[in-house]
Amino acid sequence: MTTSTDNFYQSDAVNFEKVIFKNQLQMNVVGNLFTPKNAEKGANLPALVIGHPMGAVKEQSATLYATKLAELGFVTLAVDLSFWGESDGEPRNTVLPDLYAESFSAGVDYLASRSYVNKESIGGLGVCGSGGFIISAAKIDPRIKAVATVSMYDMGGATRNGLGNSIDLDMRKDMLDEAAEQRNVEYLGGEVQYTGGCPHHIDESSHPIAKEFYDFYRTERGEYTPERSSADLTTHPTLSSNVRFMNFYPFNDIETISPRPLLFVAGEHAHSFEFSQQAYDLAAEPKQLLVVPNAGHVDLYDDVGLIPFTKIAEFFKASL
């Protein structure tokens, strides 16, 4: 763990409020809302909806980004995606990418209704898996005027193909068969099973990526378990629903977001770099790929010494 990590950073320069609002399916979405304390009365401020890594909750990375960007002049809303954290959705940890994207649009609904927000100046930022979800939302929601992703994971591509195309068709079919059988079990009242996610134990022989995630999710650095879940389920989607990601193609039609600008932020050494590069290559102008030197994937979750908050703020100020 680096010495400048600060996932649970708090600031005296911003106001904080927990808010609850409805998505289009009338499900509660819960968010942490931040406003700059130095904002002038009657200000009409730009605003950002911010999403957490896949399987995480808003208190992991998203709230840090929301706090830091509120310090830099934005109204920010860190949301729990549906089925995670404090937001509605049963069974817990269900994979439904369309509803994950809807959580961002619901956040725009809420922000646009605030008197102190300029509803024509609302953007979105997604960390890790939420990078794909904010792109998915922006493709069909023109109210999202600018998009930034950080350490983006394309959860569709990662599930279908694995990192570096390490999953072949036979392996994919095995996953589908396993999920289908689990649906049969659950329909008859059997126990829900979970898959993927961050390991709960590591040793010297563990894969470096497993160690990287463990260092955040299973230590005091980033560990956070919401009341509606348990530590054993943090980051783990249900086995029977996880295959829905195979039908998730966030980069299809990404060029249609133009002329709204896109910023892709990725660590120089991030194992997920391929996804930011793919999205950048497919997107239309205006677009930027910001490579953070000496940073890995999880470093950009909470390493305040590496995360380019000022550059992200400059992007949104120029774009909104």
Quick check: is 179 in a domain? Answer: no
What average pLDDT score do residues 131-157 get?
98
pLDDT at 230 over 60: yes
Using pLDDT thresholds of 50, 70 and 90, give the confidence band for residue 260: very high
Using pLDDT thresholds of 50, 70 and 90, give the confidence band for residue 42: confident
Quick check: is 126 in a domain? Answer: yes
Query: What pLDDT was estimated at residue 2?
Result: 55
**Residue ranges making up the domain that contains 278:** 14-167+247-319
Quick check: is 215 in a domain? Answer: no
pLDDT at 211 over 80: yes
For the segment 67-120, what is each residue's pLDDT rounded down to a tens digit?
999 999 999 999 999 999 999 999 999 999 999 999 999 999 999 999 999 999
The one-letter amino acid code at 15 reads N
Quick check: is 177 in a domain? Answer: no
Q: Cis omega before residue 237 (within 30°)?
A: no
Quick check: is 199 in a domain? Answer: no
Number of domains in the chain: 1
pTM above 0.85, yes or no: yes
pLDDT at 1 over 50: no
Quick check: is 22 in a domain? Answer: yes
Q: The domain that contains 42 carries what CATH number?
A: 3.40.50.1820
Quick check: is 227 in a domain? Answer: no
Quick check: is 242 in a domain? Answer: no
Whether residue 91 contacts residue 232, with contact meaning beta carbons closer than 8 Å, is answered with no
